[in-house]
Amino acid sequence: MTTSCIIKHFEHYSPLTDNDKRLLDTLEESPETYPKNAHIWKPGDVADHFYTLSSGWAYTYRDMEDGSRQVLDIYIPGDVIGLRELAFEKQITGLYLLTDAQLCAFPKTRLTEVFSESLLLSTIFFIITSVDQAILLERLVNLGRRSARQKLAHFLLEISTRLYKTNADIDNPLKLPLSQTLLADALGLSAVHVNRTFKALKEEHLISATNGSVQLLDIAGLKEAAGFDPEYLAENVSGLLQHVRQMQRQMEAGARSDTAVRAHQS
């Protein structure tokens, strides 16, 4: 079985059984390829599917009354998109592709089936949403309390840390398909302010920027510039997941025993 992005993402948290991998593989059936700049959905569209991002980059956004755009999240290969809309009938954000991408759509009902079949996968989905909440909290701090220099460096380091956790074959130096315009929309800064900050970081040889992307040349220097503490991305759930794996094995053993008893009685 070829390891998919979503399986690699989940294996970051815990070893998976063959059945768990099979279940995750079903969430990446019928992949569809989309071109860069494709609009996958808009706010208000029906929210009846989730997506796994098998390859490529995407972002969610909200357009404001004055015509400006707030970028809400950046998605990288292996991410599950749409979990925030689980409780909603319609999309509360729009989804736009930063690069050519491959997406796999699966209905919300399929996710509940995965939950019913694997306690481990259910727990990891919950952990992923908890990490997502931690990232959003840190973004609030970043937007409200840090300087433009710190905001930019911190955001770039957050994306790079997520990439290193769950993706192989990372370029060195790391190249992110993030334009200055997109970063301005994500950080609540003007394009002029971001451009000025970019120039300062480039003069310090911390980053370089070409063709709508940014390369991280000096991770250690960026961490110092941002005051970056990656603890909010360093979840510690090994004890919890060990307990979950034990419970899952007990449940599977009980199910096999019940099946054997019924077979004997018949």
More confident residue, 16 or 261: 16
Is residue 170 over pLDDT 80? Answer: no
Please name the helix (run of DSSP H) or strand (run of DSSP E) that holds residue 160, with its range, or none.
helix 148-166
97/162 same-domain check: no
Domain harbouring 85, CATH code: 2.60.120.10
Q: Are residues 19 and 91 both part of a single domain? A: yes
Residue 102 CB-half CA count within 13 A = 12
Give the pair of three-digit tokens for residue 204. 């310090």
Q: For the chain, give the number of residues.
A: 266
DSSP state of 88: -
Q: What is the pLDDT of residue 6?
A: 82
The pLDDT value recorded for residue 216 is 95
Predicted pLDDT of residue 211: 85
pLDDT surpasses 70 at 169: no
Position 3 in a domain: no
pLDDT at position 210 is 85
Among residues 124, 130, 99, 158, which one has the least CA distance to residue 27?
124
- Read off the pLDDT of residues 9-25 as tens digits, 9 standing for 90 and up: 888 889 999 999 999 88
Domain that holds residue 108: 9-113
Same domain, 108 and 42: yes
Verify that 165 and 219 share a domain, yes or no.
Answer: yes
Q: Would residue 121 count as lying in a domain? A: no
- Asked whether residue 40 is domain-assigned, the answer is yes
Determine, yes or no, domain membership for 180: yes
Into how many domains does the chain fold?
Answer: 2
Please indicate, yes or no, whether residues 94 and 13 belong to a single structural domain of this protein.
yes
Residues 14 and 108 in one domain: yes
Averaged over 38-48, what is the pLDDT? Answer: 94
Omega before 173 within 30 of 0, i.e. cis: yes
C-alpha torsion angle, residues 172, 32, 212, 191 (rounded to 10): -120
Residues 99 and 174 in one domain: no
| pLDDT band at 88; cut points 50, 70, 90 | very high
**10-14, 86-90, 200-204 — most confident range:** 200-204
Say if residue 162 is in the same domain as residue 83: no
Q: Which residues pair with 215 in a beta bridge?
A: 175, 208
Q: What is the mean pLDDT of residues 118-142?
A: 92
On average, the pLDDT of the chain sits at: 90
Is residue 1 scored above 60 in pLDDT?
no
Q: Percent of the chain at pLDDT above 90?
A: 60
Rounded to an integer, the average pLDDT of 124-131 is: 91
Residues 160 and 219: their CA atoms lie apart, in Å, by 9
Q: Are residues 183 and 107 in the same domain?
A: no
Of 60, 73, 59, 57, which Cα lies nearest the Cα of 176? 57
